[in-house]
């Protein structure tokens, strides 16, 4: 057997992995006996190099990771699952806590807020009649609101206030509660003001007015409290405007907000209207200097353009709040020291007195006597605008008596009737009780059964004295003021004041008896009356105004106006006298207003010679320009039991304002202060190819517009016309 020899290797070589190089002994060749020895090549000894032990660094491999056991992995999963369950449980608990807390808070807030609202409703019900009970209701409302406020500030509600889904309702709740708190505070101030105006028997509160004395300190305190109420309501209004009402479960909130806004705004506006007067009141009451006012009842049996002739008069003087009443008299009984003898003036029955208007007044009619202009006091209010006529009455009184007048307060029978309805009647010798049911019949008809009877003068004086007494009594100031103010829109209660600041307030409050300023476009319907020759029959007249307005495509209009007057009087003279107190003839100058720019005006011609006892036009027409207005005036006569008409035609160059394919006609109406309001009917005929489509107070029939309006207040209505 032959054994294959191994090749010698160097000491540095290595065999297969895991084996060591063979030793020298192991590499010695063994030769069988008898076999020649093989040749051995020469081998150079290996080179040797010395190495520093640190020059070779062998990496020590990390031991292999041991596999995890299954039970350890399960343990970690369980730990995390437990953590998740704990968190979920905490969240669930928090959610339940939040939900229950919000539910309880919302329930408590709603309960308390509803109770507070009920208390405020009860407060408004009894505030005018039982201030003590009203105060209790306010206190109860405040307690309910305080409880609701605490419920709205729980931790859950505070947290909800920052959450997107609950932020709006929580904010709205805060604003509503703030507004309610302001309302309660304003209610307390209002009770203080009410208590001053209408003191509670046995109360220690000082009244605003008692025993003909106005308390100036209380007036000033009332002004301060009114300002506080106004400020509170302004804040409440702002809070309510901040209420969004779009959050979850807020379906009722917008309605609550809007109702509260209406009430808050109404009270704020009332205070804003009252504040200027309260600030002016000390001066009106003579805080710095005495003030004297003329009070007069106007006689609608003998009309003037601004109301009836002054029937009876009285003066009121206020000095540091203390009121002194002058004698109440029938106007014909007043002795004017500076006047001419009664009947001395040409054409005048009453005594002429020296005076003239402060500004040019084309309605004024006077005569020169001994270098002075004279006219009777009873003819001083012939201008339709009481801002002029009121001043003229003051000037005429001052001219006749020498007494300076700081203001004029005028009431006619419509206002007197409203006042007596509140205060009760007054007693008059020979007539019994005069009340709201019979005052017009007694003073405007029955007293003229005889000419200038002494009983009439006594009745006039008794009525004037009773009215002044009723006005000056401390009780029922609010009710009396409301009764008079209710008659002001019809110009039945009118005031003029010499102080410009006070007059500005009077005008703003609608108490000045002003005729509206002219408009640049549209129609203007008004009718006033100036009694001629002293017949006392104007309260028995029925007047109507009918108009046909024919519109043109360019916005101009042609107008046919017809004034119809029916005389319900009878002749009491037995001689068919055309003038005088017993005459049944109505002799009047009818006065109407022409719209701005009116042209082509036509009226009936004056007869060359009026017919005796006929219903007819008596004289020529006149156009009087005052303050930008054009008044058309013409005298007429209506026989007893007869009806007459006064036709007027004119053209309005700018009647309607064009608006795209349409145009709008404005029709302005002025209040007439007859005893029975004048009725009007206006028919608007559109141009060809046009039709009336509607408007305020407009009845549409066959493409035409019809307006039925009483001249019981000043107003403007619109008529809309469209093509097609």
Give the angle 339-345-346 at the CA atoms, nearest 5°. Answer: 170
Give the angle 594-599-600 at the CA atoms, nearest 5°. Answer: 115
End-to-end alpha-carbon separation of the chain, Å?
138
Q: Average pLDDT, stretch 116-132? A: 84
d(CA 297, CA 410): 6
pTM above 0.75, yes or no: yes
Residue range 291-508 forms a domain whose CATH class is: alpha beta
Could you give the C-alpha distances from 663 to 260, 361, 408, in angstroms and in order? 39, 37, 43
Give the angle 467-470-471 at the CA atoms, nearest 5°. Answer: 85
| Whether residue 18 has pLDDT greater than 50 | no
Q: Average pLDDT, stretch 478-506? A: 94
Give the residue, 583 or 687, on which the prediction is more confident.
Answer: 687
Quick: pLDDT tens for 29-73: 444 444 444 544 555 555 555 554 545 544 545 556 655 556 566
Quick: pLDDT tens for 347-367: 456 789 999 998 889 999 888
| Whether residue 89 has pLDDT greater than 70 | no
**What single DSSP character describes residue 724?**
-
Token digits for 451? Answer: 């000419």
d(CA 412, CA 428): 18
200-204, 279-283, 381-385, 458-462: which has the minimum mean pLDDT?
200-204
Indicate the pLDDT class of residue 614, thresholds 50, 70 and 90.
very high
Residue range 523-723 forms a domain whose CATH class is: mainly beta
Tell me if 706 sits within 8 A of 698, measured CB to CB. yes
- Residue 423: which residues within 8 A CB-CB, separation 6 or more? 470, 473, 476, 480
128-142, 186-200, 316-330: which has the minimum mean pLDDT?
186-200
| Whether residue 124 has pLDDT greater than 80 | yes
Tell me if 66 sits within 8 A of 47, measured CB to CB. no
d(CA 412, CA 309): 9
Domain residue ranges of the chain, discontinuous segments joined by +: 85-284, 291-508, 523-723
Beta pairing, strands 407-411 & 291-304: parallel
| Whether residue 369 has pLDDT greater than 80 | yes
C-alpha count within 13 angstroms, C-beta hemisphere, residue 587: 19
């Amino acid at each position: 057997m032959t054994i294959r020899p191994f090749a010698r290797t160097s000491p540095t070589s290595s065999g297969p992995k895991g084996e060591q190089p063979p030793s020298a002994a192991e590499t010695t060749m063994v030769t069988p006996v008898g076999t020649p020895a093989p040749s051995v090549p020469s081998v150079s000894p290996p080179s040797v190099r010395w190495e520093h032990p640190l020059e070779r660094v062998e990496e020590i491999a990390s031991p292999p990771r041991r596999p995890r056991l299954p039970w350890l992995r399960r343990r970690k999963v369980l730990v995390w699952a437990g953590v998740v369950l704990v968190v979920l449980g905490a969240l669930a608990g928090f959610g339940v806590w939040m939900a229950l807390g919000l539910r309880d808070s919302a329930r408590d807030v709603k309960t308390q807020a509803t109770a507070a609202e009920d208390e405020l409703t009860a407060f408004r019900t009894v505030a005018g009649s039982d201030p003590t009970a009203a105060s209790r209701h306010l206190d109860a409302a405040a307690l309910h609101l305080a409880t609701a406020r605490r419920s709205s500030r729980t931790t859950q509600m505070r947290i909800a206030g920052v959450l997107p889904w609950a932020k709006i309702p929580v904010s709205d709740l805060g604003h509503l509660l703030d507004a309610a708190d302001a309302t309660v505070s304003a209610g307390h101030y209002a009770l203080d003001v009410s208590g001053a105006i209408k003191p509670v028997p046995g109360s220690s509160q000082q009244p605003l007015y008692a025993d003909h004395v106005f308390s100036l300190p209380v007036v000033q305190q009332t002004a301060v409290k009114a300002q506080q109420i106004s400020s509170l309501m302004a804040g409440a209004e702002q809070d309510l405007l901040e209420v969004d009402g779009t959050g979850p479960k807020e379906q009722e909130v917008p309605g609550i907000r809007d109702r509260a806004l209406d009430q808050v705004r109404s009270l704020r506006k009332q205070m804003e209207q009252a504040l200027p007067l309260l600030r002016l009141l000390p001066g009106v009451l003579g805080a710095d200097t005495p003030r004297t006012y003329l009070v007069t009842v106007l006689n609608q049996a003998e009309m003037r353009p601004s109301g009836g002739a002054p029937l009876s008069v009285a003066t009121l003087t206020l000095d540091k709040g203390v009121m002194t009443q002058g004698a109440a008299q029938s106007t014909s009984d007043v002795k004017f020291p500076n006047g001419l003898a009664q009947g001395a003036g040409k054409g005048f029955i009453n005594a002429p007195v020296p005076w003239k208007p402060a500004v040019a007044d084309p309605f004024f009619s006077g005569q020169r006597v001994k270098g002075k202009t004279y006219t009777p006091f009873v003819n001083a209010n012939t201008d339709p605008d009481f801002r002029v006529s009121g001043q003229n009455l003051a000037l005429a009184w001052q001219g006749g008596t020498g007494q300076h007048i700081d203001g004029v307060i005028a009431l006619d029978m419509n206002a007197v009737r409203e006042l007596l309805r509140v205060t009760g009647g007054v007693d008059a010798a020979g007539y019994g009780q005069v009340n709201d049911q019979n005052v017009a019949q007694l003073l405007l008809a029955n007293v003229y059964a005889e000419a200038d009877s002494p009983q009439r003068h006594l009745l006039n004086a008794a009525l004037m004295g009773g009215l002044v007494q009723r006005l000056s009594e401390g009780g029922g100031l609010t009710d009396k003021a409301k009764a008079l103010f209710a008659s002001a829109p019809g110009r039945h209660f009118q005031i003029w004041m010499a102080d410009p600041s006070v007059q500005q307030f009077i005008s703003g409050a609608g108490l000045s008896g002003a005729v509206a300023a002219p408009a640049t476009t549209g129609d203007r319907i008004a009718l006033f009356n100036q009694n001629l020759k002293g017949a006392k029959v104007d309260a028995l007249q029925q007047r109507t105004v009918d108009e046909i307005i024919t519109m043109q495509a360019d916005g101009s209009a042609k107008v046919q106006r017809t004034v119809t007057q029916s005389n319900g009087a009878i002749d009491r003279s037995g001689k068919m006298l055309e003038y005088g107190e017993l005459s049944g003839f109505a002799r009047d100058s009818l006065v109407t207003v022409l719209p701005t720019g009116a042209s082509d005006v036509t009226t009936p011609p004056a007869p060359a010679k009026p017919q005796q006892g006929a219903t007819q036009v008596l004289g020529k027409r006149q156009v009087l320009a005052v303050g930008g207005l054009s008044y058309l005036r013409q005298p007429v006569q209506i026989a007893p039991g007869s009806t007459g008409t006064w036709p007027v035609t004119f053209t309005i160059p700018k009647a309607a304002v064009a608006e795209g394919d349409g145009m709008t006609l404005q029709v302005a109406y002025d209040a007439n202060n007859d005893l029975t309001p004048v009725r009007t009917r206006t028919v608007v005929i559109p141009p060809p190819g046009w039709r009336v489509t509607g408007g305020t107070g407009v009845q549409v029939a066959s493409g035409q517009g019809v307006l039925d309006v009483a001249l019981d207040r000043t107003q403007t209505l619109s008529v809309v016309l469209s093509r097609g």
